[in-house]
């Protein structure tokens, strides 16, 4: 075969490889370059985060509005400090909102559900949601039930 | 082993010569482009089978919308690199060994040395580089076509919700942690396969039996070493 046509075919082959990589990056792994700038951070403290992990969902009424970006232990109060990245589109989270750790279905992962309060003032970047409810740990629940301490 | 290492080392370092680029391109055509059809067909079939089997298991727990995630993770991390490497060993590795073995048997290699052309540079190095370049591309194609096959079976035929199929996949698959590590695997496999194939051809007995046994050895050795190497790469890269 002519060297020229081989070169063209090999070029197409390489291009197909690059396109495959792009498909895997964008379509399959949801790789988004500009994602960082389209969010703002909110903080919340929980006594117990259960099985919450980085990249867990943050939702209002079941609609995903952000992700858990960072979880660390506050060494002064021994509570878990969770940083959430919320989409810029969602600006109207009132200051007395409640953050609760919920479970997605019976076997699903943990996520944070935010219930909106009645206050007129809204949370901005860096604010903390003070009203929180920790994850329900099944063992504790059973233990309390057995001791009839409801 | 020592001799194989020596050949590899010599061949790799003799590449930096732009005049030989056309030889590499010709070999990418031989090894890579001609393996596309078999890779794409197998990828599609495996993706479709994974979707069928996965659906049957997941539907019992009502979590069939995670089908895309499961198939994508399995394909990108394990099956894509490994199966495309096995196909590559069978399709390209064997032909490499036979070609170089026959060159040796017909004394083309020694005549090259005689007229002052270094066969390592002229014959071996382009093939090593071509394998090294082609293998990741084939592995990527395999994964993409496999996921496409899975979506065809899962979404269009079995009726998994399309949005859930893709969004759960995008949520669970991480580019750095899963896709890139899969690519590292394919690069390692490409190196190992072409190395074994070239060495077996170079080291073959210059007879018909010698070439046939060298070809067999190439496929057997490279398949086994891909599988063993895959275990260790997984062990190291995915932090067990």
| Residue ranges making up the domain that contains B82 | 20-234
Contacts across the A-B interface (CB distance below 8 Å): 71
Interface test with chain A among B21, B32, B64, B88, by most A beta carbons within 10 Å: B32
Q: B6 lies in a domain?
A: no
Contact B140 A17 (CB under 8 A): yes
pLDDT band at A50 (very low <50, low <70, confident <90, very high): confident
Q: Flag whether pLDDT at B41 surpasses 90.
A: yes
Q: Which helix (H) or strand (E) holds A112?
A: strand A110-115
pLDDT at A34: 47
Mean residue pLDDT of chain B comes to 86
Helix (H, G, I), strand (E, B) or coil at A133: strand
Q: Distance, in angstroms, between B70 CA and closest chain A CA?
A: 12
Contact B140 A30 (CB under 8 A): no
Interface test with chain B among A6, A13, A106, A109, by most B beta carbons within 10 Å: A13
Q: Where is pLDDT greater, at B10 or B164? A: B164
Question: What is the mean pLDDT of the segment spanning B53-71?
Answer: 85
pLDDT at B226: 94
Question: What is the mean pLDDT of the segment spanning A52-57?
Answer: 79
pLDDT digits 0-9 by tens, A66-120: 888 888 898 888 889 999 888 888 888 888 888 988 887 666 678 888 988 888 8
Q: B95 lies in a domain?
A: yes
CA B72 centroid distance within chain: 18
Q: Which residues of B touch A25 (CB under 8 A)?
A: 175, 179
Interface test with chain B among A3, A5, A29, A56, by most B beta carbons within 10 Å: A29
pLDDT at A149: 58
Q: What is the number of residues in chain B?
A: 240
Q: Does B187 touch chain A (CB under 8 A)?
A: no
Nearest to A84 by CA among A119, A118, A57, A46: A57
Q: B239 lies in a domain?
A: no
pLDDT at B185: 93
pLDDT at A141: 78
Contact A9 B61 (CB under 8 A): no
Q: Which residues of B touch A105 (CB under 8 A)?
A: 63
pLDDT digits 0-9 by tens, B94-103: 999 999 888 8
Q: B67 lies in a domain?
A: yes
pLDDT at B161: 79
Q: Lowest-confidence range among A49-63, B11-25, B35-49, B194-208?
A: B11-25
Q: Where is pLDDT greater, at B78 or B10? A: B78
pLDDT band at A49 (very low <50, low <70, confident <90, very high): confident
Between positions 33 and 72 of B, the ones with CB within 8 A of A are: 33, 36, 61, 63, 72
Q: B50 lies in a domain?
A: yes
Facing residue for B29 by CB, picked from A9, A29, A105: A9
Q: Distance, in angstroms, between A15 CA and closest chain B CA?
A: 9
Facing residue for B140 by CB, picked from A9, A21, A107: A21
Facing residue for B170 by CB, picked from A13, A30, A107: A30
Facing residue for A7 by CB, picked from B25, B173, B175: B25
Sequence-separated (6 or more) residues with CB below 8 Å from residue B150 = B47, B48, B50, B51, B54, B67, B68, B71, B72, B75
Contact A25 B166 (CB under 8 A): no
Torsion of CA A4, A9, A11, A17, to 10 degrees: -170
Nearest to B133 by CA among B3, B15, B2: B15
Q: How many domains does the structure of chain B reveal?
A: 1
Q: Flag whether pLDDT at B15 surpasses 60.
A: no
Q: Which helix (H) or strand (E) holds A98?
A: strand A98-103
Say how many C-beta atoms besides its own lie within 10 A of residue B186's C-beta.
24
Q: Where is pLDDT greater, at A43 or A39? A: A43
pLDDT digits 0-9 by tens, B109-158: 888 888 877 777 778 888 888 888 899 999 999 999 999 999 999 888 88
Q: Flag whether pLDDT at A45 surpasses 50.
A: yes
pLDDT band at B89 (very low <50, low <70, confident <90, very high): very high
CB contact at 8 A, A10 and B36: no
Q: Which residues of B touch A30 (CB under 8 A)?
A: 169-171, 173
Predicted complex ipTM:
0.76
Q: Flag whether pLDDT at A150 surpasses 70.
A: no
């Amino acid at each position: 075969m002519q060297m020229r046509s081989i070169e063209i075919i090999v070029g197409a082959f390489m291009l197909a490889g690059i396109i495959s990589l792009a498909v895997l990056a964008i379509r399959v792994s949801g790789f988004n370059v500009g994602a960082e700038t389209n969010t703002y951070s909110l903080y919340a403290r929980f006594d117990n985060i259960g099985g919450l992990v980085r990249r867990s969902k943050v939702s209002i009424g079941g609609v995903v509005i952000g992700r858990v970006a960072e979880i660390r232990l506050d060494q002064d109060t021994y509570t878990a400090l969770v940083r959430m990245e919320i989409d810029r589109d969602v600006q109207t989270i009132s200051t007395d909102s409640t953050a609760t750790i919920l479970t997605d279905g019976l076997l699903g992962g943990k996520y944070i559900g935010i219930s909106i309060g009645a206050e007129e003032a809204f949370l901005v970047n860096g604010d903390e949601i003070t009203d929180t409810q920790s994850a329900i740990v099944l063992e504790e629940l059973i233990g309390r039930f057995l001791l009839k301490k409801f | 082993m020592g001799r194989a290492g020596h050949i590899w080392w010599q061949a790799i370092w003799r590449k930096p010569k732009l005049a030989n680029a056309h030889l590499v391109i010709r070999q990418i055509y031989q090894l890579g482009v001609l393996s596309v059809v078999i890779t794409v067909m197998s990828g599609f079939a495996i993706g479709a089978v994974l979707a069928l089997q996965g659906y049957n298991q997941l539907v019992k727990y009502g979590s069939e919308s995670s089908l895309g995630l499961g198939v994508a993770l399995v394909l990108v991390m394990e099956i894509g690199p490994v199966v495309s490497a096995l196909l590559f060993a069978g399709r390209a590795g064997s032909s490499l060994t036979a070609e170089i073995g026959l060159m040796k048997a017909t004394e083309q290699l020694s005549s090259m040395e005689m007229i002052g052309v270094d066969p390592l540079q002229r014959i071996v190095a382009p093939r090593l580089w071509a394998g090294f370049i082609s293998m990741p591309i084939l592995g990527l194609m395999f994964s993409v076509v496999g996921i496409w096959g899975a979506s065809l079976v899962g979404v269009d035929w079995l009726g998994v919700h399309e949005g859930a199929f893709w969004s759960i996949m995008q949520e669970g698959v991480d580019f750095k942690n899963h896709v890139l590590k899969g690519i590292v695997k394919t690069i390692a496999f490409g190196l190992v396969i072409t190395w074994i194939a070239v060495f077996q051809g170079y080291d073959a007995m210059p007879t018909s039996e010698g070439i046939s046994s060298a070809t067999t050895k190439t496929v057997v050795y490279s398949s086994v070493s891909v599988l063993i190497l895959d275990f260790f790469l997984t062990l190291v890269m995915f932090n067990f």
